[in-house]
Structure 1
């Protein structure tokens, strides 16, 4: 179903780790650790400013991959792994993009299950990778058939 897009990637999109969005994100996940929201704590930290929570990259724009069209509902979030070289610093600019790493199928109790593996990247302005996020999306038989229509 998606084998033709394995290896394809989106264009890099500029994102900013904005202070206000970090605060709202921290509130929404119920983690108001001072390193995320208190400017004085950030200034006194080893980073010299506030950092973003580890799952904050969920709010970034990663662009679109041509030929990859997923439905807005019915997908199952299978797995998600973050790897950081260093924390995200509030105020910094990042360039983010997505790559399709793999696609495979398995027969399950309710029919064919499809697994789409993507990897997202966040790079600083010099092109250094700051974080990666690998995710597996599960597409059920029912959703797959609806996509074929």
Structure 2
């Protein structure tokens, strides 16, 4: 295993994502969700949100963009473990989002084929005022090197 606790706390540069109608509409279409909150501007305007909002898993579509983490991982050893979305408010049409990836945890578990490391990567998503909008948390399983 070549990852150690020194990777916890590493972060990439902040990147900006401007939420446009086509982004939300295309994402809702791709996941097969016809909720009018995602596509009907008049309907959404009269909702408690006051405008179009994005589906709950929308942030996965842009959290892979932007600055990379300052860590060299062997992609052949990586598996997507789990995904979690922590929302403080819905993402809305017109939001300018400031996003930054951070390594928030690293731990090990014994698997059938040996030790595996679990790398927890958070993409923090804030609005223009610096308020937290959401955290997109991804758990990467980092398998041991084959002998």
TM-score band (shorter)?
A: 0.7 to 0.9
C-alpha contact 1:62 1:120 (8 A) present in aligned 2 = no
Instruction: Pick one of 15, 18, 28 that aligns with 1:16.
Output: 18
Number of residues of Structure 1 aligned to a counterpart in Structure 2: 143
Q: Distance in 2 between matches of 1:107 and 1:115?
A: 11
C-alpha contact 1:77 1:136 (8 A) present in aligned 2 = yes
- Give structure 1 stretches of 5+ with no counterpart: none
> What TM-score do the two structures reach when normalised by structure 2?
0.88
User: Deviations along 1:102-134, whole A, 9 cap, x unmatched?
Assistant: 112222111221211111110001111011122
Residue 94 to residue 27, structure 1, CA distance change in 2 (3 Å): same
Instruction: Pick one of 66, 73, 77 that aligns with 2:70.
Output: 66
Alpha carbon RMSD of aligned pairs, Å? 1.8
Indicate yes or no: 2:103 matched with 1:100: yes
User: Deviations along 1:9-32, whole A, 9 cap, x unmatched?
Assistant: 111101011110111111111112
Q: Distance in 1 between matches of 2:93 and 2:72?
A: 31
User: Deviations along 1:76-102, whole A, 9 cap, x unmatched?
Assistant: 222222111110001110000111011
Q: Which residue of 2 aligns with 1:90?
A: 93
Which is richer in helix? Answer: 1
Q: Which residue of 2 aligns with 1:115?
A: 118
Q: Which residue of 1 aligns with 2:46?
A: 44
Residue 19 to residue 70, structure 1, CA distance change in 2 (3 Å): farther
C-alpha contact 1:2 1:68 (8 A) present in aligned 2 = no
Q: Distance in 2 between matches of 1:99 and 1:34?
A: 34
- Give structure 2 stretches of 5+ with no counterpart: none
Q: Which residue of 2 aligns with 1:32?
A: 34
